[in-house]
Amino acid sequence: MTDRKVNRGATLARARDFILYILIGVAAVGAMIGWAYYQAKTGGPPDPPMKWFAFAAVTAIAFGYVIKGQRRNWRNPKFWVALGVLAVGHLAMGIYVVWRLSAFPLILLGALAGGEYVAIALCLEYLVPARRES
Residue 6 confidence (pLDDT): 59
The pLDDT tens digits for 69-111 are 888 888 899 999 999 999 999 999 989 988 888 777 777 777 8
Give the ranges where 43-132 is alpha helix by DSSP (H).
Answer: 50-69, 77-100, 109-127
Is 130 within 8 Å of 78 (Cβ atoms)?
A: no
pTM of the model: 0.68
Share of the chain above pLDDT 70, in %: 92
Is 66 within 8 Å of 86 (Cβ atoms)?
A: no
Q: For residue 16, count other CB atoms closer than 10 A to its CB.
A: 10
